[in-house]
Structure 1
Amino acid sequence: MTLRVLVAPSGFKECLPVEAVGAAISDGIRRVLPDACVTAVSLVDGGEGTARTLAAASGGRLVPVTVTGPTGDAVSSHIAVLGGAGPLTAVVEMAAAAGLALVPDDARDPGRTTTHGVGELIRAALDQRCERIVVGCGDSGTCDGGAGALTALGARVLGADGRPVPAGGNGLLRAATLELGGLDVRLAGTEILVACNPYNLLTGERGVARVFGPQKGATDAQVEELASAMEHWAALLEHRCGTDIRLTPGGGASGGLGAGLAAALGARLVPRFDALPGYPELDTQLAAADLVVTAEGALDHQTPHGKIPAEVARRAKLQGKQVIALAGVIGRGAAQTRPVGIDAYACIVCGPMSRREAMDDATALLTDAAEQALRMVMVGTRLSGHPRAGRRGAGRSGVRHQAAKRT
Structure 2
Amino acid sequence: MPSPFHVVVAPDKFKGSLTAGEVATTIAAAFEDGFLDAFTGTARSRGVDVEGAVALETTVLPVADGGEGTVEAALRSAGFSAVTAVVPGPTGEPVEATFARDGDTAVVEMAQASGLDRLPGGTPAPLTATTRGTGELVRAALDAGARHVVLAVGGSASTDGGAGLLTALGGRLLDAAGRDLPDGGAALLDLDRVDLSGLDPRVRQVRWTLAADVDNPLLGERGAAAVFGPQKGATPDDVALLDTALTRFADALAAGTGLDARDTPGAGAAGGVGLVALGLLGATRRPGVEVVLDLAGWSHRTRQASLVITGEGSFDEQSLGGKTPVGVAAAAARIPAPVVVLSGRRALAEERWRAAGFAQARALTDVEPDVGTCVREARRLLGALARDLGAQYGAEHAARAGAAGARG
**Which residue type is aligned with residue 20 of structure 1?**
E
> What is the rounded CA distance, in whole Å, between the counterparts of 1:253 and 1:240 in structure 2?
22
Q: Secondary structure at the match of 1:278?
A: helix
> What is the rounded CA distance, in whole Å, between the counterparts of 1:280 and 1:230 in structure 2?
36
> What is the rounded CA distance, in whole Å, between the counterparts of 2:239 and 2:158 in structure 1?
12
**Which residue type is aligned with residue 58 of structure 2?**
V
Query: Match for residue 86 of structure 2?
Result: 66
Structure 2, unaligned stretches of length 5 or more?
A: 37-54, 400-408
Query: Match for residue 368 of structure 1?
Result: 384
Displacement after TM superposition at 1:291 (Å): 2.4
Query: Match for residue 30 of structure 1?
Result: 32
Q: TM-score, normalised by structure 1?
A: 0.81
Report the RMSD for the aligned CA atoms in angstroms: 3.2
- Residue of structure 2 aligned with 1:20, choices 19, 22, 46: 22
Displacement after TM superposition at 1:306 (Å): 2.2
> 1:3–1:81: structure 2 CA closer, same or farther, 3 Å change rule?
closer
Displacement after TM superposition at 1:256 (Å): 1.6
Query: Match for residue 172 of structure 2?
Result: 156
Q: Secondary structure at the match of 1:302?
A: helix
> What is the rounded CA distance, in whole Å, between the counterparts of 1:269 and 1:291 in structure 2?
29
Q: Secondary structure at the match of 1:212?
A: helix
Displacement after TM superposition at 1:74 (Å): 0.4
Displacement after TM superposition at 1:135 (Å): 1.7
Displacement after TM superposition at 1:230 (Å): 3.2
Displacement after TM superposition at 1:76 (Å): 0.7
Q: TM-score, normalised by structure 2?
A: 0.81
Preserved contact between residue 237 and residue 263 of structure 1 (Cα < 8 Å): no
> 1:275–1:165: structure 2 CA closer, same or farther, 3 Å change rule?
same
Query: Match for residue 166 of structure 1?
Result: 182
- Residue of structure 1 aligned with 2:204, choices 188, 195, 203: 188
Using the TM superposition, name which of 112-121 and 201-210 deviates more.
201-210
Kindly report which structure 2 residues correspond to 1:328-407, keeping only aligned pairs within 5 A, or say none: 328-331=344-347, 336-349=352-365, 350-351=367-368, 353=370, 358-374=374-390
> 1:187–1:14: structure 2 CA closer, same or farther, 3 Å change rule?
farther
The question of 1:310 aligning with 2:326 is answered: yes
Preserved contact between residue 202 and residue 252 of structure 1 (Cα < 8 Å): yes
Preserved contact between residue 86 and residue 94 of structure 2 (Cα < 8 Å): yes
Which gives a bigger RCO, structure 1 or 2 (Cα 8 Å, sep 6+)?
2
> What is the rounded CA distance, in whole Å, between the counterparts of 2:139 and 2:70 in structure 1?
18
Query: Match for residue 99 of structure 1?
Result: 115
> 1:235–1:297: structure 2 CA closer, same or farther, 3 Å change rule?
farther
> What is the rounded CA distance, in whole Å, between the counterparts of 2:87 and 2:351 in structure 1?
41
Using the TM superposition, name which of 73-82 and 46-55 deviates more.
46-55
Query: Taking every aligned residue pair, what percent have the same amino acid on both sides?
Result: 37
Query: Match for residue 399 of structure 1?
Result: none
> What is the rounded CA distance, in whole Å, between the counterparts of 2:8 and 2:386 in structure 1?
12
Displacement after TM superposition at 1:119 (Å): 0.8
The Cα offsets for residues 310-354 of structure 1, whole Å up to 9 and x where unpaired, read as: 111122234453222122233478964443213432332444656
Preserved contact between residue 301 and residue 333 of structure 1 (Cα < 8 Å): no
Using the TM superposition, name which of 217-226 and 271-280 deviates more.
271-280
**Which residue type is aligned with residue 289 of structure 1?**
A
> What is the rounded CA distance, in whole Å, between the counterparts of 2:10 and 2:68 in structure 1?
16
> What is the rounded CA distance, in whole Å, between the counterparts of 1:13 and 1:187 in structure 2?
33
> What is the rounded CA distance, in whole Å, between the counterparts of 1:334 and 1:227 in structure 2?
39
> 1:364–1:221: structure 2 CA closer, same or farther, 3 Å change rule?
farther
> 1:39–1:221: structure 2 CA closer, same or farther, 3 Å change rule?
same
The Cα offsets for residues 205-228 of structure 1, whole Å up to 9 and x where unpaired, read as: 332333333333333443344334
> What is the rounded CA distance, in whole Å, between the counterparts of 1:61 and 1:220 in structure 2?
42
**Which residue type is aligned with residue 54 of structure 1?**
A
> 1:242–1:265: structure 2 CA closer, same or farther, 3 Å change rule?
same
**Which residue type is aligned with residue 30 of structure 1?**
E
Q: Secondary structure at the match of 1:296?
A: strand
Displacement after TM superposition at 1:117 (Å): 0.3
- Residue of structure 2 aligned with 1:76, choices 87, 93, 96: 96
> 1:281–1:48: structure 2 CA closer, same or farther, 3 Å change rule?
same
Query: Match for residue 49 of structure 2?
Result: none
> 1:75–1:334: structure 2 CA closer, same or farther, 3 Å change rule?
farther
Q: Which runs of 4+ in 1 moved over 6 A?
A: 332-335, 376-383
Using the TM superposition, name which of 179-188 and 49-58 deviates more.
49-58
Q: How many residues align?
A: 379
